[in-house]
Amino acid sequence: MDTSSPPQPSDRGAQRGTTASPRLRGGATAAPLLSGRTAGIVLAAILVADFMELLDATIVSVAAPAIAEDLGAGVAALQWMLAGYTLAAGAGLITGGRIGDQFGRRRVFLLGLAAFMLASAGCGLAPDSGVLIGMRVAQGLAAGLMIPQVFGIIRASFEPGARAKALGAYGAVLGLASVAGPLLGGVLVEADLFGLGWRAIFWVNVPIAIIALIVGVRFMPESRVPGNARLDLAGAVLAAAAVVLLLLPLMQGRDWGWPWWGFLILALSVPVTALFLIRQRRLVARGGQPILDPGLLRVRAFAGGLSASLLFFGALGSFFLLLSLYLQLGTGRTALETGLVILPYAVGSIITSGIGVQFAHRALLVSGSLVLAASQVALLLIVRGGAEPSYWALAAPLFVGGLGLGLTAPSLINVVLAGVPAKDAGAAGGVLTTVGQVGNALGVAVLGVVFFTRLESSLTGGGTGLIAYGDALATILPWQVACYIGAAALMLLLPKRANASHE
Backbone angles phi, psi at 427, to 5 degrees: -65, -40
Please count the CA atoms within 13 angstroms of the CA of 118 that sit on its side-chain side. 9
Element housing 231 (H / E): none
Instruction: Give mean pLDDT, residues 219-237.
Output: 76
Domain check: are 30 and 77 in the same one? Answer: yes
Beta strands 18-19 and 33-34: pairing type? antiparallel
* End position of a domain, from candidates 175, 195, 226: 226
Residue 406 has pLDDT above 80, yes or no: yes
Tally of domains in the chain: 3
Q: Residue 9: inside a domain, yes or no?
A: no
Contact of 301 with 416, CB cutoff 8 Å: yes
Got the DSSP string for 37-80?
HHHHHHHHHHHHHHHHHHHHHHHHHHHHHHHHHHHT--HHHHHH
| DSSP-assigned letter for residue 294 | G
Residue 45 has pLDDT above 90, yes or no: no
Looking at residue 339, its amino acid is G
Residue 304 has pLDDT above 50, yes or no: yes
**34 — pLDDT class (breaks 50, 70, 90):** low
In percent, the amount of the chain with pLDDT more than 90 equals 33
Residue 375 has pLDDT above 90, yes or no: yes
Q: Which tens digit of pLDDT belongs to each residue from 122-156?
A: 999 999 999 999 999 999 999 888 888 877 787 77
* End position of a domain, from candidates 206, 226, 246: 226
Q: Residue 1: inside a domain, yes or no?
A: no
Domain check: are 75 and 115 in the same one? Answer: yes
| pLDDT score recorded for residue 469 | 92
CA distances from 109 to 147, 209, 223 (A): 7, 12, 11
Got the DSSP string for 376-388?
HHHHHHHHTTSSP
Looking at residue 296, its amino acid is L
Burial 321-342 (b: 16+ CB within 10 A, else e): bbbbbbbbbbbebbbbbbbbbb
Q: What's the rounded Cα separation, in Å, for the pair 329 and 52?
A: 27
Contact of 349 with 175, CB cutoff 8 Å: yes
Q: Which tens digit of pLDDT belongs to each residue from 19-28?
A: 444 444 433 4
| pLDDT score recorded for residue 477 | 96
Element housing 19 (H / E): strand 18-19
- Which CATH number is 198's domain given? 1.20.1250.20
Residue 34: strand, helix, or coil:
strand
The angle, 0 to 180 degrees and rounded to 10, between the axes of the packed helices 335-359 and 362-383 is 160
Domain check: are 247 and 372 in the same one? Answer: no
Instruction: Give mean pLDDT, residues 66-72.
Output: 90
| pLDDT score recorded for residue 226 | 66
Q: What's the rounded Cα separation, in Å, for the pair 172 and 149?
A: 18
The highest-confidence range among 124-138, 145-159, 224-238, 448-462, by mean pLDDT, is 124-138
| pLDDT score recorded for residue 132 | 95
CA distances from 310 to 93, 269, 314, 316, 468 (A): 16, 17, 6, 10, 29
Q: Residue 100: inside a domain, yes or no?
A: yes
Tell which wins on pLDDT, 486 or 97. Answer: 486
User: Domain containing 271: what range?
Assistant: 233-288
Residue 4 has pLDDT above 90, yes or no: no
Average the pLDDT over each of 272-276, 285-289, 340-344, 471-475 and give the range with the smallest value: 285-289
Domain check: are 42 and 158 in the same one? Answer: yes
Average the pLDDT over each of 200-204, 226-230, 298-302 and give the range with the smallest value: 226-230
| pLDDT score recorded for residue 1 | 36
Instruction: Give mean pLDDT, residues 8-29.
Output: 40
Residue 451 has pLDDT above 90, yes or no: yes
341: Cα separation from own chain's centroid? 22
Residue 16 has pLDDT above 70, yes or no: no
| pLDDT score recorded for residue 174 | 65
Domain check: are 42 and 176 in the same one? Answer: yes
Residue 91 has pLDDT above 80, yes or no: no
Looking at residue 216, its amino acid is G
Q: Residue 15: inside a domain, yes or no?
A: no
Residue 474 has pLDDT above 90, yes or no: yes
Domain check: are 216 and 238 in the same one? Answer: no
* End position of a domain, from candidates 201, 226, 251: 226
| pLDDT score recorded for residue 460 | 83
**18 — pLDDT class (breaks 50, 70, 90):** very low
Q: What's the rounded Cα separation, in Å, for the pair 133 and 266?
A: 21
Q: Residue 251: inside a domain, yes or no?
A: yes
Average the pLDDT over each of 31-40, 292-301, 332-341 and give the range with the smallest value: 31-40
| DSSP-assigned letter for residue 292 | S
Domain check: are 98 and 199 in the same one? Answer: yes
Burial 390-404 (b: 16+ CB within 10 A, else e): eeebbbbbbbbbbbb
Q: What's the rounded Cα separation, in Å, for the pair 250 and 441?
A: 11
| DSSP-assigned letter for residue 158 | B
Domain check: are 398 and 342 in the same one? Answer: yes
Burial 93-119 (b: 16+ CB within 10 A, else e): bbbbbbbbbbebbbbbbbbbbbbbbbb
**89 — pLDDT class (breaks 50, 70, 90):** confident
